[in-house]
Amino acid sequence: MAYLPIFFHLFVLHLFIITLLHSPFPTFAAACTCSNGIETDRLALLAIKAQVIKDPHGILSSWNDSLHCCNWTGLNLELNHFHNVIPQEIGHLFRLKYLNLSNNSFSGEIPSNLSVCSSLIWLRLGFNKLIGKIPFQLGSLQKLERVQLHYNNLSGLLPSSIGNLSSVKSLSLAVNSLEGKIPDSLGRLKNLEFLGLGLTFWYGHNLFTGPLPTSLSNASNLLEFDTNGSDFTGKITVDFGGLTSLWWLVLASNSLGTGEADDLSFFNSLSRCRNLQILDLSDNQFGGVLPNSISNFSNQLVSLRL
């Protein structure tokens, strides 16, 4: 999907569903006959521009009244130095499909009005300075496939409405200040392939507590699961046997386990993950001895840290 950043995911708002690979810019002229929708889009984009305090590269210079908004340049706002908040008016972009504001300096809260963008497929807000809670309203975005909120300063509980994102494949929440228990509703995400809740050693980390939700046993398409450096506790009761595509499992640097002899009983189900390549359970509180079932682990396993 390398072409997506070229096109400014705010503008692929499907003002008229133009993709860089398949549709020429003249398509704008035909689509501009819907004046009411175009005016709504124009005002919403101008509201976004008004919140940008610094635009050192003149990225948004063509967004003015001297050009019809259908002729505004399609852009990618990733990797700039934009500041200030993301305005609530962004919710007026009801045709928006791809929103990429990552790697900037946006602050403030995630606008709850994003929930109005019912066509949204990608939401990339990582590497900013966003604060506050993840809006529960985002759970209404049934077409959302990729959610990247990592490397911000988001706080509070992970809303249970996240389990309503029935199309989501990738959910990256790492390196924030989120806390509390992971909602059981996460297990409803049947299409989930990547779940990132962990940290790096150079940045902060989330403060999730309690056990891993047993409902994750239902995330049958999960490929990668990373909780490195959170504060999860207790026995692991997830049945990994149904996660047949799982290849990356990193649960390091938590407080998992109780020091009891049966702490590693989950190895029995984990041995049925025939694609498992990376397993890291280091720096936890597991007790007991290694179960014999470890000999049944995937022959594709290349990294094992206990």
Quote the CA–CA distance of 206 and 74 in Å, as a whole number: 35
pLDDT at 269 over 90: yes
Instruction: Encode pLDDT of 117-175 as tens digits.
Output: 898 999 999 999 999 999 999 999 999 999 999 999 999 999 999 999 999 999 999 99
Give residue 55's domain range: 4-305
Q: In the structure encoding, which two tokens stand for residue 8, read together? A: 């400014």
Give every CB contact of residue 219 below 8 A, 6+ residues apart in sequence.
186, 187, 189, 190, 192, 195, 243
Q: Give pLDDT, residue 204.
A: 53
Domains of the chain: total: 1
13-22, 49-58, 131-140, 239-248: range with lowest mean pLDDT: 13-22
Q: State the CATH number of the domain containing residue 149.
A: 3.80.10.10
Under the banding of pLDDT at 50, 70 and 90, the label for residue 7 is very low
The whole-number average pLDDT for the span 8-22 is: 32
Tokens of 84: 């200030």
Q: Which percentage of the chain shows pLDDT scores above 90?
A: 58
Pair 176, 204: CB distance under 8 Å = yes
**Residue 45: pLDDT band with limits 50, 70, 90:** confident
Count Cα atoms within 13 angstroms, Cβ side, for 117. 31
For residues 110 and 147, is the Cβ–Cβ distance under 8 A?
A: no
How far apart CA 234 and CA 212 sit, in angstroms, is 8
pLDDT value at 186 more than 60:
yes
Mean pLDDT throughout 281-287? 96
What's the first-to-final CA gap in the chain, in angstroms? 36
pLDDT over threshold 50, residue 249:
yes
pLDDT per position as a tens digit, 206-236: 888 899 999 999 999 999 999 998 889 999 9
Residue-level pLDDT at 2: 34
The percentage of the chain sitting over the pLDDT mark of 70, rounded to a whole number, equals 76
Is the Cβ–Cβ distance between 166 and 196 less than 8 Å? Answer: no
Burial class of residue 235 (count of CB atoms within 10 Å of its CB; 0-12, 13-18, 19+): middle
Could you tell me which residue, 101 or 74, shows the higher pLDDT? 101
Q: What is the mean pLDDT of residues 177-204?
A: 83
Task: Give the separation between CA 272 and CA 254, rounded to whole angstroms.
Answer: 24
Do 85 and 108 contact (CB within 8 A), yes or no? yes
Residue 42 has a CB neighbour count (10 Å cut-off) of 18
Question: Whole-model pTM?
Answer: 0.76
Q: How far is CA 30 from the centre of its chain?
A: 34
Pull the structure tokens for residue 162: 């996240």
Residue 49 DSSP label: H
